[in-house]
Structures are given as C-alpha cells and as structure tokens.
Amino acid sequence: MNFFNTNIINRRKIAQILLFSLFISPMVTAQAQEFLQRSPDADAWVKQELRKLSKRERIAQLMVIRLSERKGKEVVFYDKEVLQYLKKYNIGSVCLFQGNSPQQALVLNKLQAKAKNPLLVCIDGETGLGMRFGDVKPFPDQLTIGAVPDAVIAYKVGRAIAEQCKRAGIHVDYAPVVDINNNPLNPVINFRSLGEDKYKVAGFGVQIMKGMQDGGVMACAKHFPGHGDVAVDSHLDLPVINKSVPALDSLELYPFREMVKAGVGSMMVAHLYIPSIDATENQATSLSRKNVTGLLRNQLGYKGLTFTDALEMKGVAKFYPQGEAAVQSIIAGNDMLCLPGDVKGSIKKVRKAIRKDKLSWDDLNEKVERVLYAKFNLGANSFNPIDTVNIAADLNKDVSSLKREVYENAITLLKASDEALLSLSTSKRIAYVGIGISAENQFGRMLKEEYKTDCYYFDYAADAGRLETIQQSLQGKYDVIITGLHNYKKYPANNFGISATAIEFLRRLGENANTINFVFGNPYAIKNFNSAKNIIACYEDDALMQEAAVRFLKGKIAAKGKLPVTVSADLPYGSGMDSRKLKVVSPETVGLSSKMLGRIDSVALDAIAKGATPGAVVLVARKGKIAFERAYGTMNTDRKEAVSSETIYDLASVTKISATTLSVMKLYEEGKLDLNKTLGDYLSWTKGSDKANLKIRDILLHQAGLVSFIPFYRETLEKSGKPKAGAYSSTRDKVYSVRVADNMYMPAARIDSMYNKILSSKLGPANKYVYSDNDFIFLGKIVEQITGKDLDQYTRNAFYLPLGMYTTTFKPLEHFPLNQIAPTENEKYFRLQQLRGDVHDPGAAMFGGVAGHAGLFSNASDLAKLYTLLLNGGELNGIKLLKKETIDYFTGYHSEISRRGLGFDKPEKDNKDPKTAYPCWSASPQTYGHTGFTGIGVWADPKYDLLYIFLSNRVCPDGENNKLLSMSVRGKIHELIYQSLLNKNQ
C-alpha cells in the first residue's frame, strides 16, 4: 500500500513537471532578443526599407566594412572608399578601428548623412573605445575583471562602455569575450578572457553584456564555439581543436549557452577547425553550417544576430578567397560578414550561389530583416549627428574612476610569509627594485614619498654584472625590499619578453622572507618565480594600478582578488588571501581545545553519511579570531562538487537578524525608527487595515498577531499544478521583470497583490507568540521606506562592504559564479527545478529575491565578521557601525511569553535539561542568534566571546529532509564548542 501511494505521488510530480514544461518551453525557444523585437512601428519601417533595397543591396546589408587602420605610425581612414561602397552597394555596416574620437565622429556623420539606409556602426572594443581610439583611455583587460570578487563591477564596466558607445554613435560592440582561457600559451585570447573557470567566465560575461544592453548597445559574445584552448593565432593561421563534442559541451560551450539564455544580442563566430563539429578539411567554424546553423541556431536555440570573425584573417583567407569566404559564411547561417575584403566579388558569388540553389532569397531576406530590426531597435533608423564638442572628455569621464575600482578589487594577495610585513611602517628601511624599467615610475615615486624608499632599476637589457651590483647594495641594508615586475608583454611568447637575468634576480630576491613582490601584468608570468615568499598580483601596469598597490601597502584597501587562471600547481585558479578575513589562530591561542573541537568532524561526517545534509561548513571564533573552520562533504548528493570554506549558502531566516534586524538597530540608534510606533506610522499603505496599528516592538517579537506565512505561489497555479495563463514567462521583459527562478519571471504588478494578501490576512490575538515571516516582510519595507533604498542596497552599503563581507548579499547570481553557491531544493511543487543561486523561500523569490525574512546569502568567514562586530560592541578593525548599548538592548530578553529578543532568537529561559536544551545546554542566557530553514545556525555568546556558525543545505535535494533537526546536528556541535573551553572563567 505504501509503495502504491508513493508511485501515485511520483506520477503527480511528473505530471506537474510535464504540464509546466508544456507551458514554458515554447517561450524558451523564442529567446528574448530586445534588439530584434517586432512592433507595429518596427514592422512598418523594416517593410519600407526592405522594399527599397535592390537584390545586390540586400546582400550588401550583411557586410561590415573597415573604416580605418594603422599603417606604421599613421592612421589611415577609408571614408572615401566606404562612401563609394555606400553609393554603389548600400552596405549595411561599418566597423571602427584606429583614429581619435573627433575624427571618427566627423567621418561617421559624413557617411550616415550619405547613406540611403542608415549604417549599423560597430566597434571591436573589449576594453571600451580606448581599445581603438587614440584619445580615449581603455578600461581594464577582461582578465583583470576576472580577478575581482563581485560581478557587479563587471556590470558597471559594461554599462560604462555602453555610455561611451552611445556618445560616439556606435550601436554594436564586439564584446565581451567569453572564451575560457584553458591554455596558458594561448597567443590570441589569454588576457582578453575572464579566466579559466567556465562559471566565472559565464557569470561575469553575462553581467558585462547586461550592462551594455541595459545601456542600449548591442553586446556580442565571442568567439563561438570557444577560442580559449588554442596555441595558434587565427589572424595568422587556422587553429585546430581536437576535442569531442561532449568535451566542448561541458566546458567551452557553457558560457555561450548562458549568454543565449540571458538574451545576448549578437554572437561572433570564430575561425577554428574542430573536426568533431565539422570534419570538412580546413573549413573554419565560421564557414561551417554544422556549427552556425546546426549547433548555434538549432541546438542552442540562438535567435539573435551572428557576425563572422574578420574574414580577412588568415585562418579563413588562407583557404578561401575573399568572395568565397563570404558566400560560405552566409550558407553556414551567419547574418553579418565582418571585413569581407572584396565587396564586389562577394556580392557576385552570393548571387551565383543563389542561382545554383546553395542559398535562397528567402534565407537571405530573413537575414536582412534581422539586421533591419536590429537597426530600428538600436535607434539607427533616425540619425542624429554626433556632437564633436568635448567628445574626448565625455568618453574619458568615467574611465579612471572605474579603472580604480576594478584595480582595487582585483589586487590579489597570493602569498604572505608574515601579514605584518604587508603593513609597512614608515620607520622601516625600505628599498624598491623596479625590474623591467630603467627610470622612476609612479610606483617608485609614491614609495619614495610615503616611505623615503631607496630605488634601484633593472631593465631587461641589464646583465649579470648589474644584478650583482644591485644585490650587493641591498645586502644587509634594508628591513624590507619591494620588487615591482613591470613593462613586460601581455602575451606568453618568449616568456613575455622577460629576460632570463631578470627572472634569476626575482628568484634570488623572492627567497628572502622580507621581500614583497608586486607583479604588474599578466599573472601567468608569476610561474617564473612562484617560490617567492610574498607575491601580490596586480594584473596591469599603469599609474592607477601602481597607486592601488601603494594604497594596499598602506592598509587603505584590502586584497580582495582571486587568481582567474592557474599559474602553477601551488597557485591554482581561485588562489588569493582575504586580507580582511578574521585572523586564523590555533584553538589554544584563544582558550579552546583542539582535541575537543576535532570531535566536530565526527558529528558533521556522521550527518553527511546518514543523509542529513550533503555538506556543511563549521566555523568557531573566539575573542575575534577564527579557531576552527572546516568544510565537509559536497554541494549535492551526486558528490561531484566539494564544499569549501568559500562556499556561499542560502541563509534563509538568518536574513531576519543579519539584514533586517541589523538595519532596524541602526535606524533605531539614529533616532529614525521608534519601536513604540506602528506600521501605519511608517507604511501609509497599511492604513485602513487592521495591520496599521501593530507596534514595531511586537512585530520584532513575533507577537503582533500576524499569520506565520502565506503561500503566495498557490494563487499562480491551477489545481493541476500548471501555472495559470500569463502567470510567468521564461524570459525577462518590461512586464515580466521579477526573477523567481531560472527561466521563470513574474510580472512586477503581482507584488502589490502579495502585499494586499498580507494586509487582508486574518489577524490573530496580540500577546501570543507566532513565529512569522510576515513580521519581517513588513520590517524590511519599513527599512526601505525610511532609508529610501532597497533593503539589499542599504545593507550592502551600510554594513557588508565596510566590513569586507564581500560574499554576503541578496541575489548572489548577480555577484558570483554559480559553482561558488550551494544548491538547495530540487523543487517539485512550484518552480519545478533544482534551485541554485535563487532564494529557496518561495515568498522571498516572488518578491524578487529580496525580502525582510529571507534572501540573504553568505559564506561562513564573511558572516563571522558581522557577528564579531556585534560581540565587539559594534566595532571591527577600526570601523564603528553600532553602539554597544544598542546591541545589548536588542539581544536581551524582551518577552514574557517567549524566549525572543528584539529580532534575535535566544536560549530557552529554562534550559536545564541537556536533552531538550535550545540551542544547546551550555549556551549562556546572553547568547543570541538564529537558525535557518535551509540548514543554517548562527549563535554568538558575549559571556564567553564565542561565535558558532553552521552552514548547510540540508534541503538539497529533497526539501522534506528533517534529519538535521531530528539528529540535533547543530546542537551537538554547539555543545562540543562549549566543552572545548579550557577555562570558562577566561
């Protein structure tokens, strides 16, 4: 009988999944391409323009022509030639290269004024317009961006690039590069990539793309299907990748798939020879129908524009004459032919291919329509001349400030023999050895100003005699030696141009524990001296990065970066020390027993073995120092991904104290929030309801009478489990703008109905304890009302960033790679998918991932900073955020009918029985904290200056798993921590 019932349940779940997929899958295949959207106005314009184009002009609409290039020291513009192409063939697009911004603007103004059909203006600008324009500074390389911890910065760069493009009359930027650089010797991608990790490349690439497209500029993901694992430059020859399709699918294709899902406007197809995709001899992927139409269009479902990589590159031109390359690219399924060279010959060969039935006019017209819709939606249909007044200043206005932000977040502390060494005292005798330079640079200049440093220079032409001379001058004379590796090449050929003598010098100096090595450039070069005791990767070599390095030495900024590529066996991808992390010490240093804490292992491993959770992280801190931090198990029950101390977890209800209560405390302390006032005093929209008179104090104590929770999602489903018509969309747009889960968006208008649902819910009696999510949903809205900021933005800027809590955030997918975030439930009743990076709580999900009761994510060490601040009386590392009196007040007992503090959970007042004690038998009455539904526990005990954090995802994959609770895993570990105290009086 039990077996029969189980099967009925399983069949019901399967039926729900099938019904949901039937509802949502047609929308998945029709990707949201905002720049190809159809509308009555767009339809009318495209129809009109298409009617005006002759057959040869329709072919020319698919061509992107070079506007300029550098020849020697001179920049040559081809405006006269392009003007002839416009008059004769009505070409569709131009690509900007070298020249200064006023020149580019004047030429574009002239060409657009003469164009019968407006030009689509493109640029190959991965680092913004500064990559091409001589009078504009470039943004940082993508590899530098790949070192920063937070993808929000990648979004900012994308948005700033869009603003540059809009100012300069550019519609499409061939960026970002989403190739995975999994070959350190790559001669063409390398530092242009975001790194070697597919999740970080995808996540950061998507954010750059979103920044660009939110700014009204079409992004272009390149180079499909992945140019990272090559040792040949496709500008010079055709690179070969001998990988199977499954291998490509598991790695190289991943970022492109994510870009498709995210709605990237265009893709650039690479010149690669991949026999497993198409074995036609010497046929580049850009010319392969199996690659462009079969793989990109049909299998990945891509609906946007496709550009070929430049057809003038030898990877194609070596095997196909220019006209032949163009026609084969169109047959393959591409829309736009980038730099086809022979325009006349290409048009003739395309027409010939149509006559021979290799192409059809229907196919070609479909491509032309796509291009025209792009022009309309990008605003190219109405030309406004580019204003040349102050154009260079306008294009440069955000570059330096944003570069500084990237640099200060990218600096990566790879090795440190003694952290005290990195906090330089002005009383120390310091020498600076600039390697690769022969004269003073900004780094040396600032070191002299700050520390009265003696400077020595050793360029790559220097010989062994110079090495010995400098080394003798350094011998026994200085407390600290700082080296700076400068002025080396970005690509790996000839060991980046670093001389063997310079490498030998770096190795000798690096062996000394008092030498600090700064590497200003491509981090792959560190392999030459990775045995050094102290290494800081700085990624780029300009004055701003050198200034950031000095700020780091002075302690003005922390090292936040992580190595985006593997340098050596002992410096793998992800290496990097958090210089703001709480100090890690041996347990005995802070009065704890290592032996007793070691018993935590058996409890955690037993929990994993018995299926209570797939993995966990346990952190114990005392007196402001981490005495124990260990990761156990895996992310999921498939055991494919190991948990690490860096793993980010869904904190569930710990959000209530770590975000909402914290904010309430701050506003209370500032006199902006009165606990004796009511909801109606702060939220006018509650007036007229029976909720308006509820006191803030009672809400914090969960005794205001609000119901425990409301399953908002049920109203969006039919009885069968199928979503109601119009409830969700698989793609985001202006109406369906609230992300609920992957490929699942809700209309923003529904949020108002959710608040109304709370307002109309039945109100229970006052002075009765009912733990309620709705209490904190209201409190979160009060914080937003008072501060004028969304809860996630207020908490991030007021608390998390000042404390260096870089992983503590709402909506973590906007900040971190997917593989850094632990999955939660494989949900079968609402979102019908494996949740990872989207908040587990369904109500918080429907509020867009940000709510007062749930939605916060963090790793253990960052969360420890917040609770160490509270244990320290509101101060950490010289940063004062709260008063001790405020903390003591909120964390004390405040109810006659429950154990609660104001927002905080506390031990039971009668905690005498070890078997039923909560959170554990030895916790003092001063203890405060909270637990979370997903398997979280945070407890701080001021009596012993003791902090315990337990992070897990016990709801993965089965949300009904209650073993963590029934086995008392969190409580057992908590009690072991108290038993480890060597002297409870100290």
Which positions are catalytic? 235, 309
- The Cα–Cα gap between 390 and 413 comes to 40
- Residue 239: burial class (beta carbons within 10 Å; 0-12, 13-18, 19+): buried
Q: Please identify which residue in the block is written with the tokens 């497993």.
A: 276
- The Cα–Cα gap between 293 and 302 comes to 9
- Residue 716: burial class (beta carbons within 10 Å; 0-12, 13-18, 19+): middle
Q: What is the DSSP letter of 288?
A: -
Cα–Cα distances in Å, from 460 out to 488, 676, 815? 9, 71, 40
Q: What is the DSSP letter of 929?
A: E
Hey, how many other C-beta atoms are within 10 angstroms of the C-beta on 886?
A: 18
Pick the closest to residue 812 from 841, 776, 860, 855 (CA basis): 855
The answer to whether 925 and 931 are in contact (CB under 8 A) is no
- Cα dihedral 673, 678, 684, 686 in deg (nearest 10): 140
Pick the closest to residue 628 from 591, 596, 581, 584 (CA basis): 584
- Kindly tell me the sign of the dihedral angle through the C-alpha atoms of 896, 898, 901, 903: negative
Tokens describing residue 740: 């609920």
Cα–Cα distances in Å, from 943 out to 61, 898, 926? 75, 22, 7
- Residue 524: burial class (beta carbons within 10 Å; 0-12, 13-18, 19+): buried
- Beta-carbon contacts of residue 519 (< 8 Å; ≥ 6 apart): 485, 525, 526, 535, 536, 537, 538
Hey, how many other C-beta atoms are within 10 angstroms of the C-beta on 683?
A: 19
Hey, how many other C-beta atoms are within 10 angstroms of the C-beta on 640?
A: 8
Hey, how many other C-beta atoms are within 10 angstroms of the C-beta on 214?
A: 13
- The Cα–Cα gap between 960 and 568 comes to 43
Task: Strands of 120-241 (E only): list them.
Answer: 120-123, 172-173, 220-224
- What separation, in Å, do the N-terminal and C-terminal C-alpha atoms of the chain show? 60
Q: Please identify which residue in the block is written with the tokens 């002009």.
A: 57
Tokens describing residue 519: 């590497």
The answer to whether 931 and 801 are in contact (CB under 8 A) is no
Please work out, in degrees rounded to the nearest 5, the angle formed at the alpha carbon of residue 971 by the alpha carbons of 966 and 976: 135
Helix, strand, coil percentages (3-state) for the chain, rounded to 5, are: 40, 15, 45
Pick the closest to residue 416 from 594, 559, 234, 244 (CA basis): 559
Beta bridge partners, 435, equal: 458, 485
- The Cα–Cα gap between 451 and 425 comes to 8
**946 three-class SS:** strand
The answer to whether 262 and 210 are in contact (CB under 8 A) is yes
Q: Which string of DSSP letters, residue by residue, matches 669-728? A: HTTS--TTSBHHHH-GGGTTSTTTT-BHHHHHTT-S---S---GGGGGB-TTSPBPTTS-
Omega of the bond leading into 907 within 30 degrees of 0 (cis): no
Cα–Cα distances in Å, from 148 out to 106, 201, 221, 564, 807? 37, 12, 20, 9, 12
**353 three-class SS:** helix
- The Cα–Cα gap between 764 and 704 comes to 8
- The Cα–Cα gap between 523 and 567 comes to 7
Q: What is the DSSP letter of 558?
A: -
